[in-house]
Structure 1
Amino acid sequence: MLADRSYSYAIVILLTIIVLVQSEQLQRPTLVVVTVATDETDGLIRLRRSAEAFGIELNVFGLGEQWNGGDTRIEQGGGQKVRILKRSLEIYKDRNDVILLFTDAYDVVFNGGEEQILEKFIDFYGDYRVVFAAEPFCWPQKELAPNYPLVRFGKRFLNSGLFMGYATEIWQIINAYPIADKDDDQLYYTNVYLDEKLPVSFSKIIHY
């Protein structure tokens, strides 16, 4: 009789664990990985191959379009990337169950899969809605540097080459201001980050 009761308890515990795991999986956001590229360069090919190696579904926006965003290697520019994202991400604007990962296309490779990326975002930055990469330089307007909060470790200034967050907030960010193709995308995101007059949801943005 005691053995039967212990067996019943074990089944109940096991079923409880299964239900909890299933519930967590149902509530877990979906990861959508995107990039913007107008040309099929060696860099984009490397990015695609690394995505395939880790089973990542990579959405490439803007391929085949004429690039009007300037030469961002030597000057300001890249606003066209934001404009392409505005057009391409509208389908996710109300999807609070989707986390978007944007990465530059030509100088990046993946070293982990979607599940690993999603887990780290939720575990490390669970209190935040959007996270941007960071760098040691305030580009392209260094006079904005004093407006940034001080940091105790890591880099201080926003980098627009990679960001990740909930689709609803990213949609707000890319639609916060008008932007032209030749405007600078990093300056655009910097202004969003520093603008205290924007909606309160933007207060949940950090750069790392």
Structure 2
Amino acid sequence: MKNFTLFIFLLISSVIVSADESLPLHICTVASRPKPGLQQLLLSAEKFGLKVEVLGMGLPYKKNGQKLSYMKMYLENIPDTDLVLFVDAYDVIFLANENVIKDKFYSFNSPFVISAETNCFPFQELASAYPESPTLFKYLNSGTYMGYAGYIKFLLNEFIIEEDKSDQGQLTKLFLRREHEITLDYYSELFMTLHGIRGNQIKLEKDPKLVHCLLTGSTPSIIHGNGLGKKLYQHIFNTLFGKQ
């Protein structure tokens, strides 16, 4: 009952404060080593006046499930009504400032928005359990997500985190239990994943720095070169920010 009450409170709060530009936005990632991809992430963040807190630097890294544990600890000191944005460390680029990111998040009218991708990973057998999507971006991708701190806390308390397992797999199962509460970014409005996407399905604009997703007509604020999208991610970074 306590969890249910918290959920209702936060869901109502998401509507009440849905246009509050004064809400703090906390951005974090998890990285154990300073790879080039992390430098590119931080450079793109700096270009748009964003500060990213890096969790886990220099510490042993098990598997991707550990990212959920870091997030759970990170949220302990953040007020429930603050906004929190998580991004993967080594293959993500920012293309918008804080106000644009907030406005896009608010437009979903949801307490939690997570990116969608074209591939059902790691549980291919769960593909048929997903709801229909209006675009090719149908399946949950855990590399970028945003929500109210209290609601993310609530979600992460819904299951026992397995650090040696896929974070995406664990969040996939959570989504399929709560698909009417968790929002997938089907149109790549806020987040765009690149696995399975070809170069002719996007259009780049250098000034201002924009990626136009020709599949959905959107200009996403955060680009993620997941899976086989690493080469396209690097091409986008090199074109918009210059080779480092």
TM-score past 0.5 threshold:
yes
C-alpha separation in 2, matches of 1:176 and 1:38: 26
Alpha carbon RMSD of aligned pairs, Å?
A: 2.0
State TM-score, norm by structure 1: 0.75
- 1:128–1:66 CA distance, 2 compared to 1 (3 A): same
C-alpha separation in 1, matches of 2:18 and 2:132: 36
Q: CA deviation at 1:145?
A: 1.0
- The answer to whether the 8 A contact 2:80-2:151 is kept is no
C-alpha separation in 2, matches of 1:26 and 1:139: 35
| Corresponding position of 1:95 | 80
Whether 1:33 and 2:21 are equivalent positions in the alignment is: no
Determine helix, strand or coil for the equivalent of 1:181: coil
Determine helix, strand or coil for the equivalent of 2:145: strand
| Corresponding position of 1:53 | 47
State the one-letter code of the partner of 1:149.
P
| Corresponding position of 1:3 | none
C-alpha separation in 2, matches of 1:147 and 1:28: 38
Whether 1:207 and 2:184 are equivalent positions in the alignment is: yes
C-alpha separation in 2, matches of 1:179 and 1:128: 24
Runs of at least 4 residues of structure 1 off by over 6 A? Answer: 23-27
Which of the residues 182, 189, 193 maps onto 2:171? 189
| Corresponding position of 1:9 | none
- 1:151–1:163 CA distance, 2 compared to 1 (3 A): same
Determine helix, strand or coil for the equivalent of 1:91: coil
Note the residue ranges of structure 2 that are not aligned, 5 or more in a row. 1-16, 186-244
C-alpha separation in 2, matches of 1:166 and 1:25: 13
State the one-letter code of the partner of 1:206.
T
Give the count of matched residue pairs. Answer: 169
State the one-letter code of the partner of 2:157.
N
Structure showing greater relative contact order (alpha-carbon pairs closer than 8 Å, 6 or more residues apart): 1
- 1:152–1:88 CA distance, 2 compared to 1 (3 A): same
The CA deviation string for residues 133-154 of structure 1, in whole angstroms up to 9 with x for no partner, is 0011111111111111001224
More helix by share: 1
